Amino acid sequence: MLVGPPGLQMLSKRMMLLATISLALVCPSRATENGQNEQAKQADAICASKVHPGEPGMAVLVKKNGRVLLGKGYGLRRVGSLESISADTNFRLASFTKQFTAMAVMLLIQDGKLQLGTTLAETFPEFPDYGKTITVRHLLTHTSGLPDYEMLMEQEEKAHGPRWSPEHQIQDEEVLTLLEKVYKGKFAPGTSWAYSNSGYVVLGLIVAKVSGVSYGEFLQQRIFAPLEMKHTLVYQNGKNEISNRAYGHSLENDKFILRDQSATSATLGDGGVYSNLNDLSKWDDALANHTLLSAQEMQPALTPVKLADGSEPHWPQEADEDNQAPGQPVSYGFGWFLDPYQGHPRMWHSGSTMGFRTVIEHFTADHLTIIILCNRTDLDPPTMALQIAALSRE
């Protein structure tokens, strides 16, 4: 019961009403924030349980609605050192790189210097006839049918003896030369789908040739510098250095062994970028805010490819290390897998190379991003990322 003059009673009622409205507005937000903080704690516990003292480890970023819930490192940058992994530690991204290569191509398209229908033979006139029907779109979507360059390396070494090693790595131009020695692809362009590192090495070369600067310089000028990704780079041994570098490891006989470079670690467009959580958070913001390309300009990259007959592509039937789901349907755009997970739309990509495992999972409708970078090969970042994503739905 209110006691006092009518005017004061009316004012008091209004104040109580405003207070009630304020509580109604504030409490859900606090509840949401508390819930997210609890999810971050659970995610932290999941990650911490995977890495023991003295081991190499990982860096993990969890963002919800643009807010960083978790950005933390676990383990060591290099076994035997005292340097811990942090949000500033730079990891080799491996195939995570492909989204940057695709963005570079799309920026050149917006510049009017390249078209999705540009053929491989138009860019490299010396390329055999089978390149006359392979387009930039085919390369971006893994529907080109280009032979796998690692298979071609094996064939070359069987015929002529050892040629490549971690100390003498194959370069992009050598990949192109190997492809030019072949006179047909695995299948006619657009008629099938097969994950192609060869295609993305070639795209990196196309970026360099069309832009007039190296692949690394183009990414620096058009992506990394504008987004202030100050410590992200395309690594080329002898040409640049990686600050706060994580080195790759493999677990062998219950012991972690330094396994940082292979004969194929020098190729660029398919996996040559090094980056860290802080910079990749800026990349994630740029994608969400359409900083580099408008939503309309970005749309082709986020449209699942269809084969020439209009059918849905599938992973090849033959199992190999690049074949994640033999015979199963696959949804791929330009540098992004696009298949939903348990009904939740997403764009994602994993990476796997000597000593490193990585993943980015961006659940578009949930405004949730999870990035995991590992400098050891015994962890499974895609599975961990989905485990963390499930926390936000509990």
Per-residue burial over 98-130, b = 16 or more CB atoms within 10 Å of its CB, e = otherwise: bbbbbbbbbbbbeeeebebebbbbebbeebbeb
* Cβ 269 vs Cβ 202: under 8 Å: yes
Contacts of 33 (CB under 8 A, 6+ apart): none
Overall average pLDDT of the 380-386 stretch? 97
Sequence-ordered list of residues with C-beta below 8 angstroms from that of 325, at least 6 positions apart, any chain: 315
Average per-residue pLDDT for the chain: 91
**Around Cβ 346, how many Cβ atoms within 10 Å?**
24
Per-residue model confidence (pLDDT) at position 394: 60
Tokens of 233: 């780079």
* pLDDT confidence band for 15 (50 / 70 / 90): very low
340-351 pLDDT per residue, tens? 999 999 999 999
Structure confidence by residue, pLDDT tens digits, 306-333? 999 999 999 998 877 677 788 899 999 9
Residue 231, class by beta-carbon neighbours within 10 Å (0-12 exposed, 13-18 middle, 19+ buried)? middle
CA atoms within 13 A on the CB side of 281: 19
One-letter amino acid identity for 218? F
Average pLDDT over residues 235-245: 95
**pLDDT tens digits for 263-300?**
999 999 999 999 999 999 999 999 999 999 999 999 99
Average pLDDT for 83-95 = 97
- Which of 117, 120, 114 lies closest to 137, judged by CA? 117
326 compared with 170, residue with greater pLDDT: 170
The average pLDDT across 20-35 equals: 49
**Domains in the chain: ranges and CATH:** 51-391 (3.40.710.10)
At 63, the amino acid letter reads K
- pLDDT score of 16 more than 60: no
Indicate the pTM of the whole model.
0.90
CA distances to 93, 95, 216, 360, 366 from 350, in Å: 9, 6, 21, 6, 20
